[in-house]
Amino acid sequence: MKTFLILCTLLSAYWLPADETLENLEVQKIAYQEAPPLERLHMQLSEEVMAVGGKLWFQGTLQTAQPESKVLYVEILNSQQTVVQGIYSIKNGLFKGQLQLPDTLSGGWYQIRAYTQWMRNQGETSYWSHPLMIVNPYEDKLAVQQATQAKRSGEINFFPEGGNYVEDLPNRILVQLPVGIAKKVTSARLINLQDSLPLAEVRFQSGQSDLNITPETDKDYALEIYLSGGDTLLQALPKPQQQGVALQADFDQNGLQIEAHHLEKGKYALVLRTNDTFHFSENYRGPAFSYQFDEEELPAGIFEINVEDESGKILAQRMLYHEPQGEAITIALGKVKYHPREKVEATLSLPGTDNTIPLS
């Protein structure tokens, strides 16, 4: 009997910790599954509406609580498969690159996503992703794909610059036509719906046009689009907001020009940055603000331009990609005319130096 009791005591000593071990493993498994990801991506795109054949530029940062990953995977997917992909290096938590869009893609909604090898272990819910509209002007119709829940089939789209379309302020709107309509456009104009008077001619290129408009209170506007075959399409513009900020920004040969217009009085800030690096921040008051950055002041990258209120809330935002204009390499020939099979002499001048290199 004594031997039996000793045996039971020994068995219980091994059995009970086993139960506790299994329970602890289950708790750890649940905690791991519910834990926030150890790596997070923040990524900026040069455009959110792209034409086939173009280059999509991106840059971003990797935040990590562990030794950081060195490789980034970026993909563009339709509703069925990956159509474009690339592999890029991550250095000191920063990355940048570009994706070339094939000419053969169908127009519609796609999804761009990015992830590291470690994020693969945690599943697709930890990936960075964003919807992307791709336009193919060579298609007969726009095939809208289910990359997001939004379904836009064959409609005319309006994209206000800065995200806002505000009454009584100067606005610029990107108008995008379905390809089936774009191929038939002969001319177009902006009209006032109240009296049908024309306000401006609208020129479309590859199914897109920039529309500059200052909408007045209690007035409605529309595009009157004339199609081949004698048909006319009348498309009303969306109703403007009664409050907000209208933001416009452009690169030209002199640099970057930014303009912000307001209806409400208050204190605002114009913020310019690439990645997480601030290049400019200035507070101002008043109904309008403009600033110009010279070309030599601007580094390469995707510029994030924000108008913020006193609390730091973003009221309007614009993304632009900038690639500095490089100095040209000069090649000077020894003389204007050469005889057949005569040796050609020339010099090559490198930008930023006084040195020349002889060529022949």
Contact 114, 60 (CB under 8 A): yes
Instruction: For 150-183, write each residue's pLDDT tens digit.
Output: 333 347 888 899 889 999 999 999 998 887 888 8
Alpha-helical (H) ranges within the chain are 2-34, 117-122, 179-182
> Does position 53 have pLDDT exceeding 50, yes or no?
yes
Q: Give mean pLDDT, residues 283-299.
A: 85
**Residue found by looking up tokens 């690096």 in the block:** 277
User: What is the structure's pLDDT at 354?
Assistant: 64
Contact 46, 305 (CB under 8 A): no
Contact 268, 315 (CB under 8 A): yes
Per-residue pLDDT band at 204 (split at 50, 70, 90):
very high
- Mean pLDDT of all residues belonging to the chain: 79
User: What is the structure's pLDDT at 26?
Assistant: 59
User: What is the structure's pLDDT at 352?
Assistant: 55
Say how far apart CA 269 and CA 286 lie, in whole Å.
11
User: What is the structure's pLDDT at 325?
Assistant: 61
DSSP letter at 104?
T
> Does position 85 have pLDDT exceeding 50, yes or no?
yes
> Does position 31 have pLDDT exceeding 60, yes or no?
no
pTM score of the predicted model = 0.54
3-state secondary structure of 65: coil
User: What is the structure's pLDDT at 139?
Assistant: 57
Per-residue pLDDT band at 145 (split at 50, 70, 90):
very low
* Tokens read off for 184: 């038939």
**CB-CB neighbours of 133 under 10 Å:** 22
DSSP codes of every residue in 285-353: ESSEEEEEEEGGGPPSEEEEEEEE-TT--EEEEEEEEE-PPPPPPEEEES-S---TTPPP-EEEE-TTS
> Does position 144 have pLDDT exceeding 60, yes or no?
no
Per-residue pLDDT band at 353 (split at 50, 70, 90):
low
Between 155 and 127, the more confident residue is 127
Residue 142's nearest CA partner among 153, 132, 158, 131 is: 153
CA atoms within 13 A on the CB side of 282: 10
Between 138 and 92, the more confident residue is 92
Per-residue pLDDT band at 140 (split at 50, 70, 90):
very low
Q: Give mean pLDDT, residues 210-238.
A: 90
